[in-house]
Structure 1
Amino acid sequence: MDFETVAQVLPFLTQGALVTFEISFLALLIGTLLGFVLAALRLSHNKFVRLFTIVYVWFFRGIPILMVLVFIYYTPPFGITLSAFAAGLLGLSLNAAAYKAEIIRTGILAIPKGQIEAAEAIGMTPWQILIRIRIPQIVRFVLPTYISNSVALLKESAQVSVITVPDLMLRAQNQFSSTYKPYETLGVAALLYLLMTSLLMLLQLYSEKKLNLNRSIK
């Protein structure tokens, strides 16, 4: 291991790690919001709305994320040219929404119907029911799975390097091409990915422990 080379490439790789974190976090946020909408629509009484969400989830869970990214970047939707970062963010968000929708829908279905009926009986509005009953329980039911899927999203974000987003993967490849030292470039990049995913996995373990503790108290 050439530590001098590590010292030279580390600032560039760290910048790439920040881009990876940024695009993953934004995709996670947008994907979660879209996923919540899709999950709610999936439970709609309108069969055409349900069919749309079923097809959406089936489509984006069934094709490689790389294909989505390349399609969006090289064939701009509605003729709107997107930057590499914007195209990558859009592709990751659309893909994440499909997975988050199924996770959130599972949480919604896990809520006993009797609780909703009781809330309606005492005059709570749909908004109050959403804030006070649905969301807290959805979080409790799906949080471990949600975080596990978020770890996968962070790793999948490496594929945005194919459309020239200057993330950790692309910077590691560039540094390797100029130094031909895999351990000092790709190896260090792998450690940075491991650090980011490990933080999420620790959060998952903490949430699972916290949820189990709460259940035991109850």
Structure 2
Amino acid sequence: MELDFSVAWTYLPVMLEATLLTIMLALVTQTIGTSIGFVFALGRTSRFGVLRFAVWSYVWLFRGTPVLLHLFFVYYAAPLFGVTLDALPAAIIAMSLSSAAYNTEILRSGIQAVHKGQIEAAEAVGMRYGRIVRRVVAPQAIRIVIPPYMSNFISHTKNTSLASVITVPELMLTSQMVYSSTYRAIEILSVAGLIYLVLTSCLTGLQLWLERRTSYEARGMSRRRRRQFLGASDASVRMEA
């Protein structure tokens, strides 16, 4: 059988529409997972042992079980507890919980990489915990976690294809429906793979931009910091003179 990509071209608008749902699912679940993961990462570094153990147990459970199982459990087991969810909300909940477990450990590594002396110095000048996190911990942790975080984001984007098993009409399920009716599996799946490659390539480009943006060596001093530095240098010269 010869390849005929004209079929894929005919159904390309349908596949691109499904791609929008894939993008939405990836962005929403990663955003929720990052928010939960940041709070849990702070819990993992807490001085309270009970809180650390509770968060560790959550991470252990969700990192140790497949995303596919999370999807099945939320979609099929939730009705046993009186909660019935449509496919898309179930996928968002399941994939957000899974994303949160991975992001917890990624963000924890960045938080713990900040030297304790800086936190103690901030406490010594009277800064509250929330302000220490915003002004001292988070800016340094973000720079450290960008490579592992974006790598996880790329994997998470590809994992949205698993939502097809609970009938979420994202790119993979739509592709399956198209090749089931056209019997052109190779052509349709090739186009689907190309679309996923474009999505992940955009995320890779975003990672490189963020790394350059947060690299002090690459971007040097800001204009404000440069003016302050030059002003201080001029003042010291005048004092010596």
Aligned-pair CA distance for 1:3: 4.2
CA distance in 2, matches of 1:110, 1:166: 41
The answer to whether the aligner puts 1:138 opposite 2:141 as a matched pair is yes
Q: Which structure 1 segments of 5+ residues have no match?
A: none
Alignment of 1:13-162 (within 5 A): 13-76=15-78, 78-162=81-165
Matching residue's letter, 2:52: R
Q: Matched residue of 1:75: which SS?
A: helix
Q: Which structure 2 segments of 5+ residues have no match?
A: 222-241
Matching residue's letter, 2:147: P
CA distance in 1, matches of 2:48, 2:131: 24
Matching residue's letter, 1:154: T
CA distance in 2, matches of 1:44, 1:119: 17
CA distance in 2, matches of 1:83, 1:215: 49
Matching residue's letter, 1:58: W
Higher relative contact order (CA closer than 8 Å, sequence separation 6+): 1
Deviations 1:54-113 (Å, cap 9, x if unpaired)? 111111111111011011101116421011001111110010000000001001101111
Match 1:166 to one of 169, 173, 181 = 169
Aligned-pair CA distance for 1:8: 1.6
TM-score after normalising by structure 2: 0.85
Matching residue's letter, 1:79: G
CA contact (8 A) 1:144 1:207 kept: no
Match 1:188 to one of 180, 186, 191 = 191
Matching residue's letter, 1:8: T
CA contact (8 A) 2:40 2:55 kept: yes
Deviations 1:107-147 (Å, cap 9, x if unpaired)? 11011111111112222222221221111111111011111
- C-alpha root-mean-square deviation of aligned residues, in Å? 1.5
* Number of positions where the alignment pairs a residue of Structure 1 with one of Structure 2: 217
